[in-house]
Amino acid sequence: MAVRPKRARLIYNPTSGREEMKRRLPEILQRLERGGLETSTHATIGEGDASLAAAEAIARGFDVIIAAGGDGTLYEVVNGMAEKEHRPPLGIIPLGTTNDFARALNIPRNWEGAVDVILKQHATVIDVGKMNKRYFINIAGGGSLTELTYEVPSKLKTMIGQMAYYMKGLEKLPRLRPIELYIQTEEGDLHEEVMLFLISNSNSVGGFERLAPDASLSDGLFDVLILKKCNLAEFIRVVSLALRGEHLDDPNIIYLQTQHIQVTSPDYVQINLDGEFGGTLPCLFTNLPQHLHIFVDETGQSTYKNPPLNLMKLPWKTKTGVEDNEQDEG
């Protein structure tokens, strides 16, 4: 029986993080290889390509998949993996603008630290959200301001980073309109005019670190946050409370936990999934418990005082009769 190193497929967006990924690629590969991971790469060429690359990596039997880039790349990789029966553990090298999900999991936002997290082989298993036929790991939402993450031009993001999101938010603020929602959950039904609704698996979104303070990535439940119809002054007041995590007792807020939630509306409502356009209502959201293994910091501490993550060790070396030294690019 030969002992072979684990084979990793690094799926990276060469344009993310002001092209830092492209510049750092040789060093990243060297560090992964030194750490015992035989690594081949796929550079994405545009929207949707990371999903196809992740599905292909699974079909080809890679032991580890690494998503390197921003939240958009991570979202696409998760969508390529979530439907498959066998899902290898996922490593994250966050090199995007906001890196919301890496923040939630306390994954270092520098490439050396992120690579070392993967090499230490500690993983946690997280719930995955399903919306109709799409998947998300962080947060889904609709209504006021939720569409701004995919409306911000990527050129502006490259130039001024996260500030681009705040500028877009200010531009949209005077034009906010409520939407009429019909919501069905195990907890009961609701018919309400709302400003926005958020369905959280994790709790980190665009600097709002305490939006869903009780959200756990491994409890099999979504934390649902609804902001009822209100005027602009009220909206700004509640948003500023949310920045401090002090919004849950506000009378404008409805907060509940559920595994399934059906949302319909007579209005045209776009859905934001992990920062990307995910479709429009009506939608059925389902939490798929413990669906994906992700490499995390060995302390198991998630960010923002969330419950500690459950950890397991995933060893690199496996005993196998097959020698496999395949390397390729593209």
Ligand X SMILES: Nc1ncnc2c1ncn2[C@@H]1O[C@H](COP(=O)(O)OP(=O)(O)OP(=O)(O)O)[C@@H](O)[C@H]1O
251 near ligand X (CB under 6 A): no
- Cβ burial of 219 (10 Å; 0-12, 13-18, 19+) is middle
Nearest to 206 by CA among 71, 106, 73: 71
Among 73, 124, 146, 204, binds ligand X (CB under 6 A): 73
Stretch that binds ligand X, among 2-10, 64-72, 113-121, 236-244 (CB under 6 A): 64-72
Q: What are the residues facing 13 on neighbouring strands? A: none
Specify the pairing of strand 312-313 against strand 318-320: unpaired
Does position 91 interact with ligand X (CB under 6 A)? The reply is no
* 169 makes contact with ligand X (CB under 6 A): no
State the amino acid at position 263 in one-letter form: V
Q: Give the rounded distance of the alpha carbon of 155 from its chain centre.
A: 22
The Cα 25–Cα 257 span in angstroms is 41
Q: Which of 46, 174, 188, 315 binds ligand X (CB under 6 A)?
A: 46
Q: Which of 102, 275, 294, 295 binds ligand X (CB under 6 A)?
A: 275
* Closest to ligand X by CB, 70 or 129: 70
Q: Are 250 and 85 in contact (CB under 8 A)?
A: no
Stretch that binds ligand X, among 27-35, 41-49, 234-242, 259-267 (CB under 6 A): 41-49
Minimum CB separation of residue 207 from ligand X in Å reads: 12
> Which H helix or E strand runs over 118?
helix 111-119
Q: Does 98 bind ligand X (CB under 6 A)?
A: yes
Catalytic-labelled residue, pool 76, 192, 276, 326: 276
Window contacting ligand X (CB under 6 A); options: 95-103, 208-216, 238-246, 307-315: 95-103
Tell whether residue 16 is a contact of ligand X (CB under 6 A). Answer: yes
Regarding 80 and contact with ligand X (CB under 6 A), the answer is no
In the residue annotation, 276 being an active-site residue is answered as yes
Burial of 12 (0-12, 13-18, 19+ CB in 10 A): buried
User: Coil, strand, or helix at residue 257?
Assistant: strand
Q: Which of 96, 141, 178, 278 binds ligand X (CB under 6 A)?
A: 96
Q: Tokens in use for 222? A: 């979504």
List of residues contacting ligand X (CB under 6 A): 13-17, 44-47, 49, 69-73, 96-99, 154, 157, 275
List the catalytic residues: 276
